[in-house]
Chain A
Amino acid sequence: MNRYPLWKYFVIVVSLVVAALYTLPNLFGESPAVQISTARSSAKVDDALQARALAAIKQVGLTPDATLADANSVKFRFKDTDAQLKAKDAVQAALGDDYSVALNLLPQTPQWLISLHAKPMSLGLDLRGGVHFLLEVDMNAALSKQLDKTAGDIKRELRDRKIRYGKIARVRDSVVVQLRDAQTVDDAANALRTALPTLALEQSKAADNYTVTVTFTPQGLQQLKSDAVKQNITTLHNRVNELGVSEPVIQQQGEGRIVVELPGVQDTAKAKDILGRTATLEVRMVDSDPNHIDAALKGNPPEGTELMPEQGSRGSGVLLVKKDVELTGDNINDAQAGFDDHSQPAVHLNLDSAGSSIFGTLTRENVGKRMAMILVEKGKGEVVTAPTINSEITGGRVQISGAMTSQEANDTALLLRAGSLAAPMNIIEERTIGPSLGKDNIEKGFHSTLYGFLAVAVFMMVYYRVFGVVSAVSLACNLLFLLALLSMLGVSLTLPGIAAIALTLGMAIDSNVLINERVREEMRNGMTPHMSIQNGYAHAFATILDSNVTTLIAGLALLIFGSGAVRGFAWVHCIGIVTSMYSAVFVSRGLINLIYGYRRRLSSLAV
């Protein structure tokens, strides 16, 4: 009666083997690595780059232990930190500023485990050390900036249509246009409806109060907010890349918040500085006089001009540009990748009213000449594109096209958009954990779990003898299952998570105690040993289920409403409850069955 069918033993063995396999990567530790990723979206990570980097490393007499490449980065693993540092310097020198080269730690997971998708648990910031920021996007500022631009657009549109208007003023969250009579109100409303289709218009034709009020529609407002957050995230990504952080996390949280996590970064002052900085676009004229270019290439550029590196499809080179800035990125409303009339990839810029009129004048006066669009970052300029002006461009819609692929058009649009933040951001939460503290935390968490586990296991074995040994073994299985699931699910382990592991183990033993006590009781009531095992497990199960479900309810509430530390705790807690049901009931019964189930004459149980 106390025998499992063969398949149940099989399930136990298979689950244990799988759990062991997926827990295994955690034991290999980490080794130093060098990670290469692009610093600009115009630079690509590809096989050619990998070969170049490898050549640079070989040149200083080093061979990486392993090379790992993914879509956005290449990583080289080394034996020790000396080799890592030497390789980093060599690679940085060889690749220049286009790529960011960062120091990283890579798991030493063997290849056969990687091919099984077994990977070690990722560690939270409190165990690894690093910086965590929670930034709040100032939506009012974003809205205000947008309304100012809208007011300018309205002014321009009405002037173009030759509709006479009075004052254009911002009243709270709307723009109010004063008009002369009912006829102009209609004209203005019609003109604005076609020019600004995403905005809501309201006409007023009361005597002495002829106005059109322009507001954002709720959808428009929503769009504005989500665009502001998206643009800020893009900008942050670009900036964090410059920091050379190995695995940054930049995510939206809630409606207007952004989480930035930079593992391993210790210099918070620098991190904050870079996150808050702005990059800008500048439009300047190109000096195409061959004599001037010759002079400049000899290191002697004429007054008022400078040489500027050029990036893009026509290869890297230099251009001689004037120092006068005609237009800055502040006048760009939006940049989108698209196609021109000949179905060639292009970037469409949308300038605001001031920008449009400046751009109109500039192009009218410089037909046939080249102008340069320069992105200024870290105080260093770089020509993104330098088209020739064919005709006057009015209306603020500028199209940049040339021999570019659609990928490049996307990248350029992103660069132009990502230049500056859509709205200012405030740091509302900051956490810095030093690396020594992280190590301490791992050690302390590990020790407290280990000693607690040993104490409980020893007690169980002494108190319940054979059943106690089975309980201790199934508790160990529970730990194995828990670690395996955490590694598989990619939940990042934090200190509260380690605390939850310890607590879950302490609580998981409850199920075994319930079973063991029940078996004792059945024996006391005069049942045969086999019946005692059978009834003990059966009676205990209802209780175990009830008590675990109530605990799970609390765990789930923590998971849903918790943030940060609490979530880390709740994840492990919830998973632990599920694994403890499996190991305490199913696995332990399997062991008991193996020990006692095949004995015909069983007169007593060691419980």
Chain B
Amino acid sequence: MIEFFHVKRDIPFMSYGKLTTAISLVTFLVAVVFLGYKGLNFGVEFTGGTVMELQYGQSADLNQIRDSVSAMKYGDPQVQALGTTRDVMVRLPATKLHTAAQISDAVLATLKKDRPDVQMRRVEFIGPSVGDELVSHGITALVLVCVGIVAYLAVRFEWRFAVSAILANMHDVVIILGFFAFFQWEFTLTVLAAVLAVLGYSVNESVVVFDRIRENFRKPQMRGREVPQIIDNAITATMSRTIITHGSTEVMVLSMLVFGGPALHGFATALTIGILFGIYSSVLVASPLLLMFGVTRENMIKPVKVKQEAVV
């Protein structure tokens, strides 16, 4: 039997509580600072504007493209390579003066004049009103996910568990956003989907640990132990599973990052960061928080409800 994590004695995670909380707090604050200072580089879906993906027969001259598009006076263009030297992305801000239809056609015509080997791969135009709606929908979705999860956990466990889980996971979300702000990666609709998926996934993680904590509280042989010891035992017992599960998901996501091409890049990046911090936060943020909120055995035992045994 191969075992990566065969730990004989419980690791005293809770005694590092102060340290891990401090680390979390610092990373969290750093992320918030970047978010506030640099802001997110919102994708065209949110800001409105036009994005064109072009492919050239041979490697493209970005400066020349930038000059040609600038000369058309549709606003300040962003021109960047997209993975290869042949693929180019041109981004233009939303303008009131021209309709989208005119812009993309005119740009392609101009670039064709410079280099006939250019080919349009993708055009995306989003009017500004759509962007505002997406932002409000995104925020609503985020709030709804949080409320839903807190409600479910509060019913299944207890409010302390629910609040610590959601705080730990919001911490993950803020850190992902912080990364996107720091590196000025494009924050698109798919990245938002990834962030929300991380929220669900990461709560998953806390739930597994909490489930163990609840079980330990109810176990007769754990009766004499202190609360921190019970939590330590729960974390140690689930650690192997935590690492392997996250490893598997991470492998999938990395596969997307490597083989998925530019279309899936942002999505996979957000998930990669989210999953790595998910491991950390569910173990070392959610549990100390639980302790801080003063969870006791009585919180879990009081409702004398027989834990429902599953019929498998």
Residues from chain A with Cβ under 8 Å of B141 in the complex: 557-558, 560-562
Chain A, residue nearest B54 (CB): A434
- Report the count of interface residues on B (CB-CB < 8 A): 79
Chain A facing B: main interface SS: helix
In contact, A463 and B124 (Cβ under 8 angstroms): no
Identify B134's interface contact among A444, A465, A557, A563, CB under 8 A: A563
> With A and B bound together, what is the CA distance between A513 and B153 in angstroms?
22
In contact, A565 and B125 (Cβ under 8 angstroms): no
> With A and B bound together, what is the CA distance between A357 and B184 in angstroms?
65
- Which of the segments B14-22, B71-79, B261-269, B294-302 contacts the partner chain? B261-269
Q: How far is the CB of B208 from chain A (nearest CB, A)?
A: 5
Residues from chain B with Cβ under 8 Å of A566 in the complex: 189-190, 192-193
In contact, A431 and B211 (Cβ under 8 angstroms): no
The answer to the question of A527 belonging to the interface, with a C-beta cut-off of 8 Å to chain B, is no
The answer to the question of B240 belonging to the interface, with a C-beta cut-off of 8 Å to chain A, is yes
Residues from chain A with Cβ under 8 Å of B267 in the complex: 496, 499
The answer to the question of B104 belonging to the interface, with a C-beta cut-off of 8 Å to chain A, is yes
Instruction: Tell me the residues in window 560-606 of chain A with beta carbons closer than 8 Å to chain B beta carbons.
Output: 560-566, 569-570, 573, 585-586, 589
Chain B facing A: main interface SS: helix
In contact, A496 and B122 (Cβ under 8 angstroms): no
A557 with B148, Cβ < 8 A, contacts A269-B105, A506-B249 known: yes
Residues from chain B with Cβ under 8 Å of A459 in the complex: 247-248, 251
> With A and B bound together, what is the CA distance between A430 and B52 in angstroms?
11
In contact, B260 and A431 (Cβ under 8 angstroms): no
Instruction: Tell me the residues in window 20-67 of chain B with beta carbons closer than 8 Å to chain A beta carbons.
Output: 53, 55
Identify B193's interface contact among A432, A506, A520, A558, CB under 8 A: A558
> With A and B bound together, what is the CA distance between A557 and B138 in angstroms?
10
Q: Mark A530-557, 1 if CB is under 8 A from B, else 0.
A: 0000000111011101111111111111
Say which size band chain A's interface belongs to.
35 or more
The answer to the question of A388 belonging to the interface, with a C-beta cut-off of 8 Å to chain B, is no
Identify A545's interface contact among B53, B258, B310, CB under 8 A: B310
In contact, A448 and B120 (Cβ under 8 angstroms): no
> With A and B bound together, what is the CA distance between A3 and B260 in angstroms?
42
The answer to the question of B127 belonging to the interface, with a C-beta cut-off of 8 Å to chain A, is yes
Chain B, residue nearest A453 (CB): B252
Residues from chain B with Cβ under 8 Å of A430 in the complex: 100-101, 104, 123-125
In contact, A538 and B189 (Cβ under 8 angstroms): no
Q: Mark A491-503, 1 if CB is under 8 A from B, else 0.
A: 0000110010011
In contact, A569 and B123 (Cβ under 8 angstroms): no
In contact, B252 and A541 (Cβ under 8 angstroms): no
The answer to the question of A317 belonging to the interface, with a C-beta cut-off of 8 Å to chain B, is no
Chain B, residue nearest A126 (CB): B263
Q: Mark A240-273, 1 if CB is under 8 A from B, else 0.
A: 0000000000000000000000000000110010
Q: How far is the CB of A263 from chain B (nearest CB, A)?
A: 15
The answer to the question of A445 belonging to the interface, with a C-beta cut-off of 8 Å to chain B, is yes
Q: Mark A456-491, 1 if CB is under 8 A from B, else 0.
A: 100110110100000000000000000000000000
Residues from chain A with Cβ under 8 Å of B192 in the complex: 566
> With A and B bound together, what is the CA distance between A428 and B44 in angstroms?
12
In contact, B208 and A543 (Cβ under 8 angstroms): yes
A503 with B264, Cβ < 8 A, contacts A517-B241, A562-B141 known: no
The answer to the question of A426 belonging to the interface, with a C-beta cut-off of 8 Å to chain B, is yes
In contact, A513 and B255 (Cβ under 8 angstroms): no
A553 with B312, Cβ < 8 A, contacts A431-B123, A434-B121, A562-B141 known: no
Residues from chain A with Cβ under 8 Å of B310 in the complex: 537-538, 541-542, 545
In contact, A565 and B245 (Cβ under 8 angstroms): no
Q: Mark B286-312, 1 if CB is under 8 A from A, else 0.
A: 000000000000000000000111101
Residues from chain B with Cβ under 8 Å of A202 in the complex: none
Identify B101's interface contact among A268, A563, A564, CB under 8 A: A268
Residues from chain A with Cβ under 8 Å of B254 in the complex: 452
Residues from chain A with Cβ under 8 Å of B250 in the complex: 506
The answer to the question of A436 belonging to the interface, with a C-beta cut-off of 8 Å to chain B, is yes
Residues from chain B with Cβ under 8 Å of A543 in the complex: 207-208, 211
Q: How far is the CB of B209 from chain A (nearest CB, A)?
A: 10
In contact, A428 and B126 (Cβ under 8 angstroms): yes
Q: How far is the CB of A345 from chain B (nearest CB, A)?
A: 41
In contact, A444 and B196 (Cβ under 8 angstroms): no
The answer to the question of A427 belonging to the interface, with a C-beta cut-off of 8 Å to chain B, is yes
Residues from chain B with Cβ under 8 Å of A495 in the complex: 263-264
Residues from chain A with Cβ under 8 Å of B121 in the complex: 433-434, 436-437
> With A and B bound together, what is the CA distance between A24 and B122 in angstroms?
31
The answer to the question of B256 belonging to the interface, with a C-beta cut-off of 8 Å to chain A, is yes
> With A and B bound together, what is the CA distance between A68 and B210 in angstroms?
57
Chain A, residue nearest B53 (CB): A437
Identify A427's interface contact among B99, B105, B120, B148, CB under 8 A: B99
A506 with B252, Cβ < 8 A, contacts A431-B124, A565-B190, A607-B1 known: yes
A541 with B123, Cβ < 8 A, contacts A427-B101, A452-B255, A503-B253 known: no
Identify A506's interface contact among B124, B205, B253, CB under 8 A: B253
Identify A561's interface contact among B137, B240, B259, CB under 8 A: B137
In contact, A499 and B256 (Cβ under 8 angstroms): yes
In contact, B149 and A513 (Cβ under 8 angstroms): no
Identify B204's interface contact among A447, A547, A585, CB under 8 A: A547
Identify A448's interface contact among B129, B245, B256, CB under 8 A: B256
The answer to the question of B95 belonging to the interface, with a C-beta cut-off of 8 Å to chain A, is no
> With A and B bound together, what is the CA distance between A521 and B137 in angstroms?
44
> With A and B bound together, what is the CA distance between A507 and B1 in angstroms?
24
The answer to the question of B199 belonging to the interface, with a C-beta cut-off of 8 Å to chain A, is yes
The answer to the question of A186 belonging to the interface, with a C-beta cut-off of 8 Å to chain B, is no
Chain A, residue nearest B105 (CB): A269
In contact, A564 and B245 (Cβ under 8 angstroms): no
The answer to the question of A505 belonging to the interface, with a C-beta cut-off of 8 Å to chain B, is yes
In contact, A448 and B260 (Cβ under 8 angstroms): yes
> With A and B bound together, what is the CA distance between A493 and B148 in angstroms?
27
Chain A, residue nearest B275 (CB): A506
Besides A550-B149, A562-B137, 19 new A-B residue pairs in contact (Cβ under 8 A), listed by A number: A134-B127, A441-B261, A452-B251, A452-B253, A459-B248, A459-B251, A462-B2, A465-B1, A499-B264, A499-B268, A510-B248, A520-B3, A537-B310, A538-B309, A543-B207, A550-B207, A551-B204, A556-B148, A566-B189
A-B contact pairs, 24 of them (CB 8 A): A430-B125, A431-B125, A432-B124, A444-B260, A449-B255, A459-B248, A463-B244, A496-B193, A503-B253, A506-B251, A506-B252, A509-B245, A513-B241, A517-B238, A517-B244, A538-B310, A547-B204, A550-B207, A553-B149, A558-B141, A565-B189, A566-B190, A566-B193, A585-B312
